[in-house]
Amino acid sequence: MDNGRPVTTLYMLMSVDGKISTGSTDDMDVDKDLPKIHGVREGLQQYYDIEQTTDLWSFNTGRVQAKMGVNDKPFPKRSPVSFVILDNQHLTEHGIRYFCELSKEFVLVTTNPEHPAFGVNADNLHIILQLQLSLTDMLKTLKRSFGCERITIQSGGTLNSIFLREKLFDYVDIVVAPVLIGGKDTATLIDGESLRNGIGLEKLGALQLTECRQLEDSYLRLRYKVLN
């Protein structure tokens, strides 16, 4: 049944214990830190190689992208991927122009009417301004206004929890790195508020395994269909 939104796939790199960062501060990040670890760096490129085969629409957050340095990086070459970034305050004007240069189409989603993106003039820049964040409305707008049929989600654990609780994941595609990170304050695949006293169990995401593949250097790829 057509629900009016794109088919979504959560695609992430995580540790064996489910961490998607190496620590609890913004200067710690798997992209920066895992290449430093013997026994982990050897197979890391496989994650990025698989990433190149995912959907031609990609969703991320300004916070994650700021951690990766887009506010300071030299402008990149154009890619065939269209990027959707949710951001209120982390991207600078340079960061916005970075994604305009990188993207086929660049859609910024924000609730901040004074975001620096409003001062950027680019043919491929589109802004979805919401009074209150609604991921459902965002996805429907992407399909209706931009022809987005499939999109890969690569946001942080807190936002992933909103996608989960609002039943907005269709598939989950995980690359598991052979490392244990630990730390209760370190971001995991799904963060956000915990369920309490058995209330809200209908918001859990039951999964059906569709692929379990051993990659090189002790990495795994796990792919699931979300059942509810």
CATH number at residue 205: 3.40.430.10
In this model, does residue 203 exceed pLDDT 90? no
Cα dist from 68 to 41, 192, 219, 225, whole Å: 18, 22, 23, 29
Task: Tell me how far apart the alpha carbons of residues 180 and 196 are, in angstroms, rounded to a whole number.
Answer: 27
pLDDT band at 200; cut points 50, 70, 90: confident
Residue 2 within any structural domain of the chain: no
Per-residue confidence band for 1, with pLDDT thresholds at 50, 70 and 90? low
| Alpha helix positions (H), the chain | 30-33, 45-51, 62-67, 93-102, 135-146, 157-165
Domain-located, residue 132: yes
Task: Give yes or no for residue 191 having a pLDDT over 80.
Answer: yes
Ranges 48-57, 168-177, 200-209: which has the least confidence:
200-209
Q: In whole angstroms, how far apart are CA 182 and each of 15, 20, 24, 82? A: 9, 11, 10, 34
As for how many domains the chain has, the answer is: 1
Separation CA 22–CA 179 (nearest Å): 10
Q: Mark out the alpha helices in 110-156 (DSSP H runs).
A: 135-146
Query: Residue 50 sits in which domain range?
Result: 7-226
Domain contains 47:
yes
Global confidence as pTM: 0.94
Other beta carbons within 10 Å of 182: 9
pLDDT at 198: 67
* 18 assigned to some structural domain: yes
Q: What is the pLDDT of residues 141-188, one digit of tens each?
A: 999 999 999 999 999 999 999 999 999 999 999 999 999 999 999 999
User: Is 48 part of a structural domain of the chain?
Assistant: yes
